[in-house]
Homo-oligomer: A and B are copies of this chain.
Amino acid sequence: MVNLLALSGSLRAASINSMLLRAVARLAPCDISVSIFTGLGELPLFNPDLQEHLPASILTYHRAVARADALLIASPEYAHGVTGPIKNALDWLVGLEPFAGKFVGVLNTSPRAHHADDALRETLRTMAAVIVEPASICVPLLGAGLDESGIVATPALADAVRACLRALEHAVTSRREPLTPKFPIQ
């Protein structure tokens, strides 16, 4: 079983990115668990002074991240930048030991928005996350008029989402394999 934690960078109830992640959870095959972290809106604004006595909301978040085999992030672009809420969530993971080397898929629901996607990837790489490219896809939902069930029922989208999940699973299970030498050694 592979455990994925999904983070949406928008707190809007009708967020397209949150909707996509709920559809992803429904489309997950039975050997991949996708849980959506719904507490990003309750995190305090990042303040290094709080790190000595972390609030309960941050401890819960850190535990959820530590337990996950990989993360899946879907976040909109606000004013040609990352959203405040997703950057705040990432700021709280900087230097968190279990985050280093974590596999991450970065979903983009808006094909024409590249600033936030680029910035998110730059930050994640700087934080020593491993971006899984086949799991980092553009799912063009902005303006598509689809709801959660519509995504699930659209074969092209459902296939793309399942391939994304399989790519994350592959990254996780490949790392789990013992480091035995393979013959012939090249």
Contact = CB atoms under 8 A, between A and B. Distances in A.
A88 B49 contact: no
A88 B91 CA distance: 12
Interface residues of A, number: 33
12 contacts: A11-B48, A13-B49, A43-B45, A46-B83, A46-B84, A78-B91, A80-B126, A81-B123, A82-B119, A83-B91, A84-B88, A115-B122
A119 B120 CA distance: 11
Contacts of A83: 46, 87, 91
A174 to B, nearest CB: 26
Copies of this chain present in the complex amount to: 2
Interface of A: 10-13, 40-41, 43, 45-49, 78-85, 87-91, 94, 115, 119, 122-123, 125-127
A94 B78 CA distance: 8
B78 A45 contact: no
